Amino acid sequence: MAQLLEVESLSLSFGGITALSDVSTIVQEGSITAVIGPNGAGKTSFFNVISGFYRPTSGTVRFDGCDILALPANARSQRGIARTFQNIALFNGMTVLENIKLGAHAQLRTNVFSASLYLGWARREEEDLTRRIDDEVISFLDLTAIRDRSIEGLPYGLQKRVELARALAMRPRLLMVDEPFAGMNNSEKAAMAQYIRRSVREWGATVLLIDHDMEMIMGLSDQVVVLNFGRMIATGNPDAVRKDPAVIDAYLGTE
Amino acid sequence: MHQILEFSIIGLASGSVYVLAALGFVIIFKSSSVFNFALGEMMMIAAYLCFATTVQMQLGWQAGVLVAVVGSVLIALAVERTMLQPLLGKPVIVLVMVTLGVGSIMRGLAGLVWGPDIVQLPDFLPRAPVFIGDVLIPGRLAWGSLVVGLIAGAFMAYYHFSRAGLAIRATSSDQVTAESMGINIRQIFSLTWAITGVLVAASGIILGALNGITPTLGLVALNVLAVVMLSGLTSVGGVVVAGLFIGWVETMVGAYLGAAWQNFVPYLVVLLVMTVKPTGLFGERRIERI
């Protein structure tokens, strides 16, 4: 298996506050890696550095062998890094289909200026895109029934699924999901876990995920990275991490 | 009754010119939160470009319109690329002040080049009055508002149905998420300025054709501002309603209360609406989750 993402001694601070310090990890292609840790441990900061919203103080991030830290966020998504957000960041006032279509924006060859003129090939590309999304993404995530509905008013679990659909429409090589199981009931969780597994198996995606649900994480991931106060306190397979004294200490405290 | 109807239609027609300019304002504000104070001056420059080509160079009004639209887009892009993009990330007020400065420079330059006196565009809109039933509408106003309606309609279709429109709406809704979708938001900012260039060129030329052109033509942007405030800064559909409404109020007040009232009653209406509903009639209330 090739190494898709290599993070080396990554540090990030805002003024005097250290959000991440000396975090290193390697994500193998085709695997599922979970990032866990108590609130404020730096999990989302870690995601934001990889997707390009924060610039780290030091360290390197290599994606598929190339240093990506100099690239702006939109260029990173064009290379195949997609993500979902903790607080569901769907575009309100748009339909489910429009939201998902935006995920595929990065892959189209026509840019917004040529697409504005709506020349023949931009239109063809657009039609192909809609068909592709219908065939692949919408049916895969069982969203056919709500395809043309507005995002507002959809139940939370469905919104999370639309967000995953939008990320998958990007045909990502690295799919980063921020708290996919938060606020879901058990059957929704099971369905979401199934979608994530199939994203790896059928879409060839590599998954990096954040969540607090230990049961789901232990069942789903190949590798677990544990952060606490910005430091990486443990890494390894789920069983090893579960037994790690530093992890038990971080979650439960010592006497 | 007949007279009220006639004034109403004239009012709506003159309001339609505000609609175009206000759309140009809203699309920039929505995507980048920049309050574009140079809007009126951009209209004025476009009108002068049309005048220079049509009258001074004698090239016909078609060439004039073309030069005005292309020139206006190029000026808008130049302002955005050279002055605003380098300031991205600075407080928005800095960018707003830049637009104010650009506006004054444009006004000064126009005064230097074309002088302070009013100039007229040739009549390329038919003069013959249009009758709807037995209601009479001055020809230029009728045709001018028809053109405005077509352009505004085309813009709406573009904004709602094209992929570029989708990308603009996404950027307006959430810049960070839009960027993570691979949308180059700097390109979107440039695109919104280019679109505004087209819209202000159209409204500038039509206004110039109706009332003549002076370096202070841009002051009409104050009325546009009233329109935008009334509709609530962010609503593309609301701007259409608010623009027509302000035009109507202005004309009705002018006709029945006199020109002195005409200058401030629209603002009074805006003020009243703002005290009752600070987000404007159609504005969205943004809730930030923290």
- The full set of domains in chain A, from first to last, is 3-252 (3.40.50.300)
Contact B176 A107 (CB under 8 A): no
Q: Please give the Cα distance from B137 to B14 (Å, whole number).
A: 11
For A194-222, what is the mean pLDDT?
Answer: 90
Could you report the per-residue pLDDT of B239-251, keeping only the tens digit for each? 889 999 988 998 8
What is the edge-to-edge ordering of all strands in the sheet holding A206-210?
A81-83, A174-178, A206-210, A32-36, A223-228, A231-236
Q: Count CB-CB contacts under 10 A for residue B50.
A: 29
Write down the ipTM of this complex: 0.72
Could you report the per-residue pLDDT of A167-195, keeping only the tens digit for each? 999 889 999 999 999 888 899 899 999 99
Please state which of the ranges A199-213, A223-237, B133-147 shows the lowest mean pLDDT. B133-147
A84 to each of A37, A220, B3, B164, B170, how far by Cα in Å?
18, 18, 59, 22, 15
Which residues does chain A have within 8 Å of residue B173's beta carbon, measured at their own beta carbons? 91-94
A200 to each of A7, A29, A129, A191, how far by Cα in Å?
21, 10, 22, 15
Alpha-carbon gap: B284 to the closest alpha carbon of chain A (Å): 11
Alpha-carbon gap: B97 to the closest alpha carbon of chain A (Å): 27
Which residues does chain B have within 8 Å of residue A94's beta carbon, measured at their own beta carbons? 166, 169-170, 173
Let me know: does A164 contact A177? Beta carbons within 8 Å. yes
Conformation bin of residue A85: beta by default, left when phi > 0, alpha when psi is -120 to 50: beta
Could you report the per-residue pLDDT of B6-54, keeping only the tens digit for each? 888 888 888 888 899 899 999 998 888 888 999 999 999 999 999 999 8
Which residues does chain B have within 8 Å of residue A85's beta carbon, measured at their own beta carbons? 177
Alpha-carbon gap: B173 to the closest alpha carbon of chain A (Å): 6
Q: What is the pTM of this model?
A: 0.81
The per-residue pLDDT for A246 is: 85
Could you report the per-residue pLDDT of A31-46, keeping only the tens digit for each? 999 999 888 888 899 9
Query: If DSSP codes are grouped into helix, strand and coil, which group holds residue A12?
Result: strand
